[in-house]
């Protein structure tokens, strides 16, 4: 009986996955925004975060394949300007219509100046992708908000600060 239930659940999940619109050759609007969640950012007078890549993942089971590069000019942001509300648009353009299940951002450099004037490098994670289900569809711009967070690493042996991609959210306007 347990095997039948498991098979039934797998069949339902497989059929639901088949309901998601496949990626098409048609394009529609996608905007990706970045802001900083208040954590350790209040210890900084400025930060310089260089974003050099942005990808979205098509809704397919293979997490290694299916990543689509979004054309992005390298951009450097001062995250202290985008805390708790204001945001920076890092991508605004067209993307292939269909279902997606993840976003990945590449930060090539990150540093800052503390309020006491000390310059610090922000430790970067090796893996900066998050799962988020969304659909890019015609006649409606899809908006994603990525939350980059400057964190303190006081509890680590070397201390210092790091930068994390903490959340990805759909925005409805």
Neighbour tally for 95: CB within 10 Å: 20
Q: For residues 60 and 67, what is the distance between their CA atoms, to the nearest angstrom? A: 10
Helix (H) or strand (E) holding 77: strand 75-77
pTM: 0.83
Q: Which helix (H) or strand (E) holds 8?
A: helix 2-19
For 3-56, what is each residue's pLDDT tens digit?
333 333 333 333 334 455 788 889 999 999 999 977 889 999 999 999 999 999
Cα separation of 155 and 49, whole Å?
A: 23
């Amino acid at each position: 009986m347990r095997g039948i239930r498991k098979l039934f659940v797998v069949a339902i999940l497989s059929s639901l996955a088949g309901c998601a619109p496949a990626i098409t050759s048609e394009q529609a609007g996608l905007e990706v925004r970045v802001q900083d969640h208040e954590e350790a950012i209040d210890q900084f007078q400025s930060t310089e975060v260089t974003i050099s890549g942005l990808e979205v993942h098509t809704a397919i089971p293979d997490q290694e394949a299916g990543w689509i590069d979004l054309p992005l000019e390298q951009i450097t942001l001062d995250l202290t300007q985008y805390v708790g509300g204001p945001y920076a648009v890092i991508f605004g353009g067209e993307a292939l219509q269909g279902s997606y299940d993840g976003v990945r951002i590449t930060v090539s450099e990150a540093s800052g100046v503390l309020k006491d004037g000390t310059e610090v490098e922000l430790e970067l994670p090796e893996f900066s992708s998050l799962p988020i289900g969304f659909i890019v569809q015609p006649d409606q711009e899809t908006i994603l908000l990525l939350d980059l967070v400057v964190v303190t690493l006081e509890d680590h042996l070397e201390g210092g600060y790091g930068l994390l991609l903490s959340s990805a959210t759909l925005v409805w306007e």
